[in-house]
Structure 1
């Protein structure tokens, strides 16, 4: 049986049977529809109910009768059309389309949100996370690291955190904790928590028993062990707490060392108001709450998918590490760069030359521009300078302003880290790439100038002609509608 979305009028939902009409020219939309098929019935604002196809008759018009089998809270289309896995369905983009067949995974996604409609608004509030997660999904295995080593850590802490074990531990047992914690291994000896015993062994035992099983809320417990002079142990500070809170509560907390904290602050603008409001324990609690409320975990499972059998928050840790390392400031730049500023990369549409072989183009991983007799474009400081020089070199009265302007942009305005949609001569997008080199002038005569690129995604996407320009290189960063449209169709699974 197939599954469909059918758009009609809400006034039709008066009984448990819906009669829906289509013109005969729309037959090709429902050629494969059969009695018993599942249908999500919606109007122009909400998905209203789930139905089953009863009959399909054709005489001057197509008449479909539907039996309503499930009604619930309306699911707003303004949210559904932004959900990963559903956002590019034509029925949400083109008003004339009234019926659309769904793939099984699309049905599964839509049905899950139909069952829990309250989660949808929160998911789309943070829909910008989808792109980060998609890009991460391509390199996730690299960031996951040594799972065997991590498994050993989790097994150690699983035994360590049991109250019956903590209550009888001796000094040698606590020193084993140092071997499992990266921060405790690197703490300066004078401050080290486990360099030498600095308190009665009962205090060490009670320290962890209170942290794990205390009556106070977890944020208060964390705070007290960091700043309470009576309960705090020397050498046990923010970094140690941020790491241990994950290993002691692996199914409830991420790791919150400096890197993860910075990553959260770059991903969520709400974190900027939290970081100066709360102490370390409360900050960890509220940052974890922010991760939960953003549905990051759900999005991760949907877009990236499980990569290990370790606690899921270990994989979220790896994603946050990726965000920190790929969106942090340059190592040569000592000042903090806001995440929003770092994200201001430019987006371009680059048109390949007519008749180029797509396979060799993908393999070479380069964008090229013929500079002719103009030489190294770095030697020109403005478009006007290129135009004047062109007239002299070619003794020309007319200058190819469009081509030479694009050549100037290719050299002086495009930057490493920018994103490029590559278009062929058939008005199709054939790939999305990331610029990974500066402008390069060739060593050999008659060879074009070039930039190296990394492919993010390749394929063939037919898009609206209005997106294209006659220029071989177009900066579309400011054209948010076109940019969102292209990102949606290309980065969607």
Structure 2
């Protein structure tokens, strides 16, 4: 039987009266993917949202479906029999804000996406909720516990099963290391025994790491014997032995970094030390919220020992034994490490933090031939790599496997070393925290950014399916002069320190014009400032001249506009071109682009306290604060902040007290206010030369309505599909598309859009297909049919199937119109 949570909002109907006065109730099934999955007999909790009354929401009833979902006039519904109702705290309802604080329930989907109606529960989630429902006082009891104790009680419920699954592996590791560490065995240690470490060290779970360290001997066998003898039985303190084993030429072993050594020590001395690999650090520091007393400059071994001290000071072993109890006959820190592994698997995987003892790498990447992918890289804040024939790069365990796949896919008679290395490095060696230069040709850098995500495979993307998210630090166009750039798609330039420094110096330089009058301020002008005229915009954005003039007038008058429309109409592209036109020339230094999301905060946008590398909190300026200061210091020029997906953020929370100041008539120093986070008597204001341009996707049903207080401060401008415009036709002609083929596109997509508009129940005008799906960024389309088929197969088809997921025949019929 299925297990579910169904949510109701007291703002929309009197949910309490409805539940209290009826034994059988009807509930909407708004998440259409569940219509065929909800069945008679399923158990369903009813969840009342806060509805604007803070900390009043939560679970108020337990029900059972008495029939399968059925179609009603409005939507699909299901009838529920109320088994038990508790509408108040006194009656024993489970409060939302309390469930969010205990690990048993804090990972529920309803906390991540709060605006849906129907949520699936796993068997474990339902069991935990049912236990709390049957004994609601346990919620209060758990809230009175320390964070560590809350997680230990949760692990207690899972411990027996957890150790049943892992005991064989743990027993083998324990007995292996008991033999490995004996004096006599170390003196006669052979390479095969050292290679066996790979079966017991999690840090070697990646095939590449294992192969590098243990594939072939990297030193004479005597060096391995002496190194392990020193680490295990040396006379120096353990911290000195660890640091020397990692970094001293006399003892260090290739491929044996900090994480490996941590696991070695944990396995060799399991009664004294816990492992200190990434999983353990995430569990202790991120989840249990215990902070070892690290200091800047600590060696790896000192951090290792401070971690151990932290466990002792917080009595982790004692609490574990009291709450969970000994589960095996193994040494205690084997069990403690497994507790941490459970936390990492259950609560830590979303936060994939890079190893803090690794220095960042620097990469040089191309943006496609002649930089044709740069616009997408910039707008989507990504970098990508091609070779779609390879599929998901994460499935290759070595560069050789990538090379073999390339040879097979392209029937090559040579070994594609560079291409294989580029793909493998992109997926496996590039990491969060690294820095990347984007090149155009062999003598221009056009961007510099920081990698902020792990490798992702997204086959639904138009061109590049293998991507990483990037936080752009600076963009522009810089000649590298004598430093010719590598022609390879991706190059690790970290080893060439002087080369990296010269590139960094290049992108940090600006041309300064100093006026003869020493009292006149220096004007900073970006090199190669390019005029941007109305004619150029009209050719690029497919909006008529009259509408453009009206938008510019609105921007002048209101200072804040939002471009809204369906996906694929180029709202972000239009926003940047409008800024260029309003400014009069192209200058990206006067344009800041950001994207709002559900976790975006006032501290990110305006100002707030954030931790520094030393673990202290310091006051940091947010992106809007810094950009306003930049505009204040350059009153002769206009500045533009483009906020993509503006309605994805909690706007009142993000703007805070600046809600008033963004109004056109509240700009300037006389309206300055003291911020929530300010120093002394410091005040802040938004200058008159700063403009806000937001974008909104009207097809995003998961978004809440834009806050009314903010809505009246913006003018909303519709951006619509432009298939019937002459600019669209001219653009495709310039890309080598035949007029007959253009007519076919316009007719076919227009018919589909009419079907979308006509579906007023599920879709409507805000869900139309935009023209940008059919705007190639390459210089010429060599095979228009192949280009068109790919768009239909990889983009339009999946989109329509998402729109009408339960009407396959209808989708196939619409797609057939395009053939």
TM > 0.5 fold call: no
TM-score by length of 2: 0.25
Q: Larger relative contact order (C-alpha < 8 A, sep ≥ 6)? A: 1
